[in-house]
Chain A
Amino acid sequence: MAPNQAPVSFEDFVRTHSGRLTRLAWLITRNFADAQDACADALVALYPRWERVPSDPARQLGYVRRTVVNACLAVIRKRRREILVDDLAEALVTRPADESIVDQSLLLACGELPPLQRAAIVLHYYDDLSYAQIASTLGCREATARSHVRRALIALRARLAGEGDG
């Protein structure tokens, strides 16, 4: 941690990181309106105690990311009987060039993972977090974080193999 590091203001943090946090939330919730709500709810909750958020940039982002991910999982739980349309694929494939990058069947399969496995996959392969960091973000042990990722990969392989047979 750099000594005498000037704390980043709440406003500057939002301007710098809200875009990426919204994309992260979108990959987890699979619905843009929910992703925006989760990010906004998390940041609104953090504002009153911003001075207690770590000032080190990496730790600060990790702290906020944990709040955003928890807000995403809460939003998913609150949906109850509502099944919102998965608008992520629609948003990712907006140009013909995107179709070669975005693996639609893999994207759809990710959307069918249970929320915690989906969050673990996104944190590991999108946000490039280690298992220790995933565990800290999800509030679980490192072994549990590894298990979430491993089970998600098994489910994805089974789903994609099944489509190949069909």
Chain B
Amino acid sequence: MDELEQRLRTTLHAADSMAVPELDPSTLVARASAKRPRSRLWSWLVAVVAAVALAVSGAVAVSTARAGVTVTVQFGDGSSDPVVGLDGQVATDLFAMVEDRRAAGEAVPSDAPAAGQGFSGFRVVASDAAKPEVVVLPDVVYVRQTSGWHRIADASGTYYARLWDVVVPQLSESDRDRLPATNPAIPRTSAAIPPQVGVTGVWELADPSRVSPASTSLKLKVTRMECASGHTGRILEPVVSYGASDIVIRTDVAQRRSTADTCQSNDWVTVTLALAEPVGDRQLIDAACLAGDAVRTSFCAAGAARWRP
């Protein structure tokens, strides 16, 4: 055995001292017993029903995919207005919210929304002619119906916030600079926002005092944001984006199979992140607090920066 092989043996055998919870035999037996064999006729029936359901959902998916929805960011400053796509689920939720408010009699006839003089909101247009054109501003939503424009008051800015969270990550840095200030303040970063690859996880430094401009690795604590009965679970490999004045880190977690979960706080899992370059004189930013469903939660109440030089 040469030196490398000896090192391998020693390093791998360090695992012998790892404390691992033992599997519970009764739990395994219960799981195995729950997987009872079914009759061939039952299996055939299940397969037929599944095939029909798949065909129906496939038709719906194709129909939805063809009905694209775009958002125009109306800067009204003489430069071109960027147009981005709107996520299918967000679009569905937006149109459903509008319809609910209209059904409740909260849509009041109004003039067309002002445009062309400064920022005038997000204009949402669907290729499906059955969906109304919608213009979303921080405290009001305009809806174009067959009888003309109507306005729906939205003092809490719910519609605006929802669109902001999905539109902003798609904009260039220069376009983001043109947007009006938000509440809570979302910092502009020199680094691009790493794309979301899983379910939202947020992070903080395990020991901020150990971070310095010379640091090339960071010990993070990550927790899953959604309800998960206290278990953060699988953490995806962190995605890092480097800019001149900040380093943006995203710590998503894997999709869970379970759906019926309680909502106590989830555990914090420690992860060591190796950086491609030293921290330098740059802020460390949690990407989850720049855009997405964590922005307006308590996780991001203190802002997106986790460390400053």
**For A15, what are the chain B residues with a Cβ–Cβ distance below 8 Å?**
22, 25
Complex CA gap A89/B15 in Å reads 10
Partner of A33, one of B23, B234, B237: B234
Which of B7, B15, B24, B254 meets A26, CB within 8 Å?
B15
> Which of under 10, 10 to 19, 20 to 34, or 35 or more describes the interface residues of B?
35 or more
Contacting A at CB under 8 A, from B17-73, are 17-18, 20, 22-26, 28-29, 31-32, 35
Stretch in contact with the other chain, from A55-63, A77-85, A129-137, A138-146: A77-85
- Residues of B close to A157: CB separation below 8 A: 4
* A126-B13 in contact given A89-B272, A153-B4 (Cβ < 8 Å): yes
| Contacts of B176-196 to chain A: CB distance below 8 A | none
Chain B residues, Cβ within 8 Å of A125:
5, 8-9, 12
B138 on interface, CB distance cutoff 8 Å: no
Taking CB as reference atom, which chain B residue is nearest A156? B4
CB-based contact B28/A19 at 8 Å = no
* Interface flag for A112 (CB, 8 Å): no
| CB of B16 within 8 Å of the partner chain | yes
Least Cβ distance of A155 to chain B in Å? 11
Q: B233: CB under 8 A from chain A?
A: yes
Q: B234 touching A34 by the CB < 8 A rule?
A: yes
Q: In the complex, what residue of chain A is closest to B10 when comparing beta carbons?
A: A101
- Residue among A27, A34, A89, A126 having the largest count of chain B Cβ atoms under 10 Å: A126
* A157–B4 alpha-carbon span in the complex (Å): 8
Residues in chain B near residue A88, CB distance under 8 A: 15
Interchain nearest-CB distance for B264 vs A (Å):
19
Question: Closest chain B residue to A85 by CB distance?
Answer: B235
- B271 in contact (CB, < 8 A): yes
| CB within 8 Å for A126 and B12 given contacts A14-B25, A91-B18 | yes
Within 8 A of A (CB), among B202-240: 233-238
Judged by a CB distance under 8 angstroms, whether B14 is at the interface is yes
Contact A102 B29 (CB under 8 A): no
Q: How far is the CA of A14 from the CA of B23 in the complex (A)?
A: 7
Q: Is there an interface contact between A44 and B28, defined as CB atoms closer than 8 Å?
A: yes
* A116 within 8 A of partner (CB): no
In the assembled complex, the Cα of A80 lies from the Cα of B304 at a distance in Å of 30
Determine whether the beta carbon of A84 is less than 8 Å from that of B237. Answer: yes
Are A103 and B11 closer than 8 Å at their CB atoms? yes
Contact in complex: A82, B22 (CB < 8 Å): no
Q: Given A36-B23, A47-B32, A125-B9, are A82 and B18 also a contact pair (CB < 8 Å)?
A: no
Cross-chain contact A23 with B18 (CB below 8 angstroms) = yes
List which B261-292 residues lie within 8 A (CB) of chain A: 269-272
A157 to B272: give the CA distance in the assembly, Å.
Answer: 24
B88 at the interface (CB under 8 A from A): no
Chain A contacts for B26, CB-based, 8 A: 11
Which residue of the partner chain B has the closest CB to A36?
B23
In the bound complex, residues from chain A placing their C-beta under 8 Å from that of B118 are none
Is B254's CB under 8 angstroms from A18's CB?
Answer: no
- A40-B29 Cα distance, complex, nearest whole Å: 10
Q: How far is the CA of A26 from the CA of B15 in the complex (A)?
A: 9
Q: Which of B13, B22, B29 contacts A47 (CB 8 A)?
A: B29
- Chain B residue at smallest Cβ distance from A25: B20
Q: A23-B20, A27-B12, A125-B8 are in contact. Are A44 and B236 (CB under 8 A)?
A: no
CA distance A11 to B24 in the complex (A): 8
Min CB–CB distance B201 → chain A (angstroms): 10
Q: List, in ascending order, chain A residues with CB within 8 A of B82's CB.
A: none
Q: Which A residues between 38 and 62 are near B, CB-CB below 8 angstroms?
A: 39-40, 43-45, 47-48
Any A CB within 8 A of the CB of B243: no
The answer to the question of A74 belonging to the interface, with a C-beta cut-off of 8 Å to chain B, is no
List 7 interface pairs A-B (beta carbons < 8 Å), by A numbering: A11-B25, A15-B25, A19-B20, A84-B237, A85-B271, A87-B271, A90-B272
A33-B233, A91-B18 given; 19 more Cβ-contact pairs under 8 Å: A14-B28, A15-B25, A22-B20, A26-B20, A31-B234, A32-B20, A33-B234, A81-B197, A82-B198, A85-B234, A85-B237, A86-B237, A92-B14, A101-B11, A101-B14, A102-B11, A106-B7, A110-B12, A125-B5
Closest 10 CB pairs of A and B: A47-B32, A11-B25, A126-B12, A83-B237, A18-B23, A14-B25, A85-B235, A125-B8, A103-B11, A22-B20
Please give the residue numbers on chain B whose beta carbons come within 8 Å of chain A beta carbons, in ascending order.
4-5, 7-18, 20, 22-26, 28-29, 31-32, 35, 197-198, 233-238, 254, 269-272
